[in-house]
Amino acid sequence: MSETIHTHEHTSSGKTPYSQWLQTDVLHTLQRPVSDHPGEHAWIVHAQVSELYWMLIIKEIQTAQACLRANDLLQAQRTLLRVVAHHAPLDAIWRSLAWMTPNDLLAMLSRVGPTYGKDTALQGWTYRHMVYLLGIKQAEHLQHFEPQPQRWAQLDKALGEPSLYDDVLAYLARIGMEVPPAVLERDLRAPYTPSGAVEQVWRGIYAGPDTHPELQRLGETLADIAEGFMQWKHRHLMATRRTFGARPAYFGTEGVAWLRPTMEEIPFPELWSARTFIGDPQSSPVAAVCPHLARQAAEGAATRVA
């Protein structure tokens, strides 16, 4: 009897449970090429899949932030490991565009530009929200979304709220790490300024293989997330070099020149800078407080002697 009812429900809806759940009938109407190039469908699918994964990463980061605020490091770590996993397909789908040459891209853009105008994925609202959550706060990008008041408001809100890194540092402070109050109370809308004291916190977490193992796991997961993010940006930069060269692109700027500086925007900066000093003995008061300043002082002294 139950099987008969189940079959009848399929027939009356005209869909299987799979197609209803995943909205496949709608999904496969969302690719709408405007050129005659046979590869434009692949380009659209690539970009749409990227959009879906960016939104997935946004939701995962927000979940991890809620866990950190509840002092649930275990669940936060589990969630952030999923973010690491989501970066793998984002990186892999660039292979679906490896066939593209400048001739291919320009054949599409010659129709896309007049139809929709010029733009880039790095100015999409989904990507920008993800970047804000990763701690790269740049208010100047908001102006791009003035034609979309709802998205402007969404991004303006995200700009003024804690990033994932802000929540990590707040958690470290709550468990007794010496994160400066000025770092926690800073203007969240402003670009993050790396702190020597925060660098020292990460150095202390990694003081030895068995020192704070759960926090070292958190640090390594954050490093994996940053690497995945940077790998995607590298792929984007190289795809631009390969298909667009040095042509002027976004806002009249050469595409490669516009993208290249973004390669310096690496999330969780002190987690990386501290690695220059992790394992070094803390042999002087200056080094104990701010290792990179100690090294700069030593290099200056060597220059004066020379």
Q: What is the pLDDT of residues 174-218, one digit of tens each?
A: 999 999 999 999 999 999 999 999 999 999 999 998 999 999 999
The one-character DSSP state at 248 is B
Listing DSSP states for 102-133 in one string gives: HHHHHHHHHHHHHHH----GGGSHHHHHHHHH
- Phi then psi dihedrals of residue 163, to 5 deg: -80, 175
Quote the pTM value: 0.86
Single-letter code of the amino acid located at 43: W
Tokens of 90: 């984002």
Count Cα atoms within 13 angstroms, Cβ side, for 208: 2
Instruction: Dump pLDDT digits (tens) for 133-172.
Output: 999 999 998 998 999 999 999 999 999 999 999 999 999 9
Q: Which domains are assigned to the chain?
A: 40-97+108-276+287-300 (1.20.58.480)
